[in-house]
Amino acid sequence: MSVDYKSTVFLPTTEFPMRGSLPEREPRTLEHWRKIDLYRRLREDSIGREKFILHDGPPYANGNLHIGHALNKILKDVINRSQQMLGKDANYVPGWDCHGLPIEWKIEEKYRKAGKDKDEVPVVDFRRECREFADHWINIQSEEFQRLGVIGDWDSPYTTMAYAAEGRIVGELGKFLLNGGLFRGEKPVMWSPVEKTALAEAEVEYHDHKSTQIWVRFPIISTKIQLLKNCQAVIWTTTPWTIPGNRAIAYGDEIDYSVVKVKTRGENKLLKEGDTLLLAQSLVKKVMDSCQVKDFEIVGSVKGSELSGTLCNHPLNGKGYDFKVPFLSGAHVTEDDGTGLVHTAPGHGVEDFIVGQENGIEVPRTVEGNGCYYSHVPIFAGQHVYKADGPVMDALIENEALIASDTLVHSYPHSWRSKAPLIYRTTPQWFISMETNNLRETAVKAIGETKFYPASGQNRLHGMIENRPDWCVSRQRAWGVPITVFVNKETGEPLRDNEVMHRIVQAVTTEGADCWFTSNASRFLGDNYDPDQYEQVFDILDVWFDSGSTHNFVLEDREDLEWPATLYLEGSDQHRGWFHSSLLEACGTRGAAPYKGVLTHGFVLAEKGVKMSKSQGNTIAPQEVIKNFGADILRIWVVASDYSEDLKIGPEIIKHQSDAYRRLRNTFRYLLGNLHGFDSKEQVDYDQMPELEKFILHRLAELDVLIRDCCSKYDFHTMFIALHNFCVVELSAFYFDIRKDTLYCDSFDSIERRAARTVLDRLFVTLTTWLAPIIPFTAEEAWLTRFPKEEKSSSVHLQQFDAIPPNWRDDDLSKKWQFIRNLRRVVTGALEVERAEKRIGSSLSAQAIIYTSNEYRIALEGIHLADLCITSAARFADGEAPLEAFSISDVPDVKVIIALAEGQKCSRCWKVLPEVGTFATHIDLCKRCADVVDGLSAPD
């Protein structure tokens, strides 16, 4: 009669389930963190530690989180948690950007649906609705961020609309006002006719746009060059609507220009045979082809510098545009495209404006803020520029000025919010000078002192700062921090008075920025200035100035933080956004960058590497991933991706990360199951351990160096891959596999079993803390499964990374065991072949006969070869290996024959051994198992 030995086998025992069921378990973990007040306890534990400050770039308080938000906040959280576990004080204060156009749009949209006219709503009431809207979404987004497992001061976040924050923003603007950096001027700015405001470069997106390109001739009416008599200068433009604003033609001094006579025209009837045209010599063929001229003659040439003093008629001369158009030298003129002569409308282009300013040309007022021509503009008054190309071309044809037209698809600026194309428009705006107080020079120097991850970010930001124009900080909207400036009506100069600014800051800090719109000017001006002599500015600040000032009212104002931040972390688009504005704001007020380091991540693409689109059905919402898989899966996706580049996500990728998670969870389960009942009294000193255990501890020491290095470089991609591979390849498929027999079947207190359990104990603590920043929910679940009642250990997140003894590092031992593992790979491969051919079942039914060199034999002295191979027997054989012996190409000097093991199967450990059946008291056991069973049944 067979005996059931199951009760004598030390099988794994744990309450840690195989299935994660994360959507159900994670909320319970969040509740546990709230119950133990984890954030507060972390702060208490961190008193006196070195601070690590990752300053949160504020997301916009508008709508649910998208997958890009999840990427950003998870990466920040992984960094903060890892730095905390490295022994630093990583206090994370989340924040929100609250002012600006997107919220205004939402309120205006509500008004439109209700048939309500925004202009009839008092500005303070409108601003109150904007504030309530932002408040609503802050609460929702806060819950969504916390559900991702992000730890921080969620009870006291910062917002740019808090009264104290608005007061500090006003104070920061005041510094630029008082030091002369803030000025009012007229410059061309990117303008959104839809939103009726200037836009910052960071609010501009470039998309392919189909434009009408036209070639227009200007009759030359005055010139000192005989060759140009009765000639017509040809310009090219992709914005026909700007022709009414033309006031000059720009040329390049060093460009050679040709006078071209049309000899034979094609189907184009806009030109006549005999017409003479002036354009760049290098572009003649290209322009003639565009104008469908079959045959032409170059009758002469002229250097660009000789064109000075030449005058033309406007192409709409006789229709209200009866003024002379001069030729002016322009450094921006090239022969890359067009005609080499540049249509110059000072109100609608940066270079055009500069050329006009240099030559004293007045900027014409042609287009209103809504994108329509002013009422005084001849022919086109009241028409919208988006619809004006046709009428402008018709008028040019009537004047015989249009010589060709076509369509062109090219990259064109659009509003990031409305997606509508933008225009350049010269308007009075408030600017921060890049040259006053050497702001550009200071910022460039600060970039050189900042660490960038990846390093390429440094050159990118440097190039932007080096070439950027003055910073336009004014917006013609209502929801934002106002530009709290008074302008002298007589001189046009802003009032620079420290006491006035102090009164404004105090009022805004106490009452919020609404007070600027509700109070009399005298409240701020005091007794020294007559309110009737000053204009109060009601433009609002660029929201990038708001967020660019957060370093002031977050890092400097909170006692638990410090300035500058250790790290700013956002998407790569923020080189022209938050990194940029924060740098300029801090350099302009403090002479240094507000950050020591800048890390950027890529954008999130759909699974096939294309942009996500609702119409394509390839969007992935983080809420859905959490609902179906859990936040830890989303967090694995972040660190398993190379986030320095664009990331991909989709169903197959999520499935792949779920598989990776399952392997990690199985590692925890194995460790917990085999550590059941473990007591520190079982621990074995390092010197007493078998070589295999020492090798695993060596690998921990190696990994410890790697992980600390990865954390310092924020390279969690490399860190996760290393940890995952360690768990899967070196633990599950190697160490755990080999030591399963020892753990299950050796005597409870055998030195080998105790040594294995000692290593498992260290593996558990080390792996759980290493993985805690990445999968905080699962790491906490595993930790509390093992330490459910210990107050000091009530969270894995209160621990620090394990301190690995330096003597565990043994490179010679590592080389030896890598050598041994190569041999084992050959044996494992041979077993797989035999199993596939159904010649064996379990590997324990086999014996391995190994043909190899003395080098391998020496390396394996003292190693139990069968345990290593997980066979019942293993031996070295002399002589040449049979032809059918198994081998693999990268281990050429090891060949293996698999045969059936000799003997009978032990009913307890299942090894096939000759000794089974030789023990009278335990006829079906091997000696090891018989001794263990006897020991278990013996009285204490």
Indicate the burial class of 281 (C-beta count within 10 angstroms; 0-12, 13-18, 19 or more): middle
Span(s) in the chain for CATH 3.30.2320.20: 825-902
Mean pLDDT of 320-327: 95
Contact partners, residue 351, CB within 8 Å, separation at least 6: 250, 330, 332, 342, 344
Q: Is residue 502 over pLDDT 90?
A: yes
Q: What is the pLDDT of residue 1?
A: 47
Vertex 374: Cα angle to 373 and 376 (nearest 5): 120
**Among 101-115, 134-148, 481-495, where is mean pLDDT lowest?**
101-115
β-pair type (595-601, 565-571): parallel
Over residues 214-224, the pLDDT tens digits come to 999 999 999 99
Query: What is the CATH class of 201-424?
Result: alpha beta
Token readout for 72 is 């950003």
Q: What is the pLDDT of residue 792?
A: 58
Q: What is the pLDDT of residue 940?
A: 52
φ and ψ of 295, to 5 deg: -145, 140
Q: What separation in angstroms does the CA of 630 have from each of 207, 257, 607, 787?
A: 36, 68, 19, 23
The amino acid at residue 143 is E
Contact present, 217 and 277 (Cβ < 8 Å): yes
Percent of the chain clearing pLDDT 70 (strictly above): 99
Contact present, 104 and 479 (Cβ < 8 Å): yes
The amino acid at residue 765 is V
Vertex 341: Cα angle to 340 and 343 (nearest 5): 135
Mean pLDDT of 537-542: 95
> Which CATH superfamily hosts domain 825-902?
Class I aminoacyl-tRNA synthetases (RS) (3.30.2320.20)
Instruction: Give the confidence band of 412 by pLDDT, cuts at 50, 70, 90.
Output: confident
φ and ψ of 882, to 5 deg: -60, 155
Span(s) in the chain for CATH 1.10.730.20: 10-17+648-809
Distance CA 758, CA 730 (A): 17
Instruction: Kindly state the helix (H) or strand (E) to which residue 362 belongs, with its residue range.
Output: none
- Local structure of 216: helix, strand or coil: strand
Distance CA 198, CA 180 (A): 22
Mean pLDDT of 229-237: 94
Mean pLDDT of 811-826: 93
Measured over all CA atoms, what is the biggest interatomic distance in the chain, rounded to whole angstroms? Answer: 127
Distance CA 58, CA 60 (A): 6
Please state, as a whole number, how many other Cβ atoms lie within 10 Å of the Cβ of residue 322. 11
Range 10-17+648-809 has CATH code 3.60.15.10:
no
Instruction: Give the confidence band of 939 by pLDDT, cuts at 50, 70, 90.
Output: low
Mean pLDDT of 916-931: 92
Placement of tokens 């001369």 in the chain: 317
The amino acid at residue 61 is A
Closest CA to 549 of 201, 162, 195: 162
β-pair type (95-96, 158-159): parallel
**Mean pLDDT, the chain, as a whole number?**
93
Q: What is the pTM of this model?
A: 0.86
Q: What separation in angstroms does the CA of 593 have from each of 33, 59, 61, 585, 930?
A: 35, 21, 26, 9, 73
Cα torsion angle, 855, 857, 860, 865, sign: positive
Q: Is residue 628 over pLDDT 90?
A: yes
Over residues 562-618, the pLDDT tens digits come to 999 999 999 998 998 999 999 999 999 999 999 999 999 999 999 888 888 877 788
Over residues 361-372, the pLDDT tens digits come to 988 989 998 999
Mean pLDDT of 249-270: 91
The amino acid at residue 117 is D
